[in-house]
Amino acid sequence: MKRRTVIGLAIATSIAGALSAGVASAQNTIKIGAVAPKTGPLAAGAAITHWPNIQLWAQQVNERGGLRMKDGSRRKVEIIEYDDRTNPGETIKAVERLATQDNADFIIAPYSTGLNVAAAPAFAKLGYPQITATAITDKIPELTQRYPSIFFALGSTTALAGSVADVLGKMRSEGKIGNRIAMVNVADAFGIELAEVSRPVFKKAGFEIVFDRSYPLGTQDLSPVVKGAKASNPDAFVAWSYPPDTFALTEQAKIEGLNVKAFYTAVATAFPAYGGKFGKSIEGHLGAGGVNMDSPEIQAYRAAHQKVTGKPADFWASAVTYASLQVLEQSIEAVGLDRKAVTDHINKSTFQTVMGPWKFVNQSIDKFWTVGQWQNGVFHGVASTGLPGAKPVIVKTGW
């Protein structure tokens, strides 16, 4: 009888203990929502740049014991993930669901320009800060004015195009290239916007655009495009391209023997897979993005990325994505879970991130990498809007 009571008591206490532990940890964890493509056209890009950083960040925060709150307590983070199938409607729905049904404390900004812009009204309406790390647009002033909760960290279209013109202009003034540019773009929002922005920029810089064509997204054979570009006998080749065509244009240029001194492709040039696929033959290739490989913070970040996720970080938006999560982390630690206070804090404060110190001016970071170049198997930043550590540009020597 006595023994039974003891056992019963023991069971009761252990159940109560487990229950209270469960309650306590459920109360303690901070729910972080995440919505981005896991399937659909942008899934591959998100799988390289977006999702691994969320995994890395959550793992590192929880390994430290959680976020250190103002009152000295530690609270772990719990990530709730949704796949938006690269469909803006799904992104918005998932943001609303995270806010109203999952009661997420914060929501990580979605992936890509289009999905972030689409979700901006939902974030603003629900009062969640949206720190974007993969959105590039010239509409930053309008968007930040309309949505007080959105933040930009990757730069603007004009800055991206302007930097390419600067890099090429410098090469020309050093006598390394002439002034003939062959330009192609993918007929999709990103490519069209960049082509339109860059035409006047190149002309103003004194370049002659000798070939200017677009091709549809998903074109399976780009050899007519590359043949045409080659026939125009350019000094520099500039492609405002998306991942699959960045790979295809490079391979075709190699096959056709398009020998230019400056070869630029936009998105995906900074992906490790680009270097992996082409090896030494892309020495000197220019592309969108870049990273300061000499920074110890970046080195430590890249090592941790490789260790935790099992794959290398890309050479552009990966570190920016991680830095945007650090901004969220430091804001929560400073002011707690009040979303309004966090938004205010992001606006006012300076953050120590893997990208160096970050201070949002008019809700955007004005120092970012714009052009990178493959040098000795690494994609170094060679042009930025004021970041340290840019490497000198080298001339592409051949395939």
Partner 1 sequence: MDILITGVLLGATYSLIAMGLTLQYGVARIMNLANGEMLVAGAFGAFWVFTAQKLSPFAAALFVVPGAFLLNWLIYRYLLRPLVRRAKNRGMLEVDTILATFGLSFVFVGVMTFAFGGEFFTYSYLAEPYRIFGSPFGQNRLAASATAAVICGLLYWGIHRTRPGTAMRAVAVDPTAAGLVAIDVPRVSAFAFALGGAVTATGGIVLSTFLTMDASIGVVFTMKALIIVIMGGVGDVRGAIIASLILGLAETAVASLIDPGLTLAAAYLLFVLILLFRPEGLFGRRQS
What residues line the site for partner 1 (CB under 8 A)?
37-41, 43-44, 46-48, 51, 86, 184, 187, 213-216, 218-225, 227-228, 243-244, 247-248, 251-252, 254-257, 268, 271, 273, 276-279, 311
Residues 166, 202 contacting (CB under 8 angstroms): no
Distance from the first to the final alpha carbon of the chain: 86
Shortest separation between residue 107's beta carbon and partner 1, angstroms: 20
> Of 125 and 227, which CB lies nearer to partner 1 in the complex structure?
227
Shortest separation between residue 86's beta carbon and partner 1, angstroms: 8
Residues 6+ apart with CB under 8 A from 256: 223, 226, 227, 230
> Of 288 and 355, which CB lies nearer to partner 1 in the complex structure?
288
Distance CA 350, CA 267 (A): 29
> Of 279 and 296, which CB lies nearer to partner 1 in the complex structure?
279
Distance CA 302, CA 289 (A): 16
Shortest separation between residue 101's beta carbon and partner 1, angstroms: 22
3-state secondary structure of 120: helix
> Of 61 and 184, which CB lies nearer to partner 1 in the complex structure?
184
Shortest separation between residue 332's beta carbon and partner 1, angstroms: 28
Distance CA 387, CA 66 (A): 31
> Of 89 and 257, which CB lies nearer to partner 1 in the complex structure?
257
Structure letter (DSSP) for residue 382: E
Shortest separation between residue 281's beta carbon and partner 1, angstroms: 9
Query: Which secondary-structure segment (H or E) carries 49?
Result: helix 43-49
Strand 378-384 versus strand 236-240 pairing type = unpaired
Q: Rounded to 10 degrees, what is the CA torsion of 350, 352, 358, 360?
A: -40
> Of 90 and 329, which CB lies nearer to partner 1 in the complex structure?
90
Structure letter (DSSP) for residue 285: -
Side chain identity at residue 279, one-letter code: G
Shortest separation between residue 178's beta carbon and partner 1, angstroms: 24
Shortest separation between residue 396's beta carbon and partner 1, angstroms: 17
Cα three-residue angle 318-322-324, rounded to 5 degrees? 115
> Of 49 and 324, which CB lies nearer to partner 1 in the complex structure?
49
> Of 187 and 303, which CB lies nearer to partner 1 in the complex structure?
187
Shortest separation between residue 241's beta carbon and partner 1, angstroms: 11
**Max Cα-Cα span within the chain:** 98
3-state secondary structure of 204: helix
Give the total residue count for the chain. 399
3-state secondary structure of 233: coil
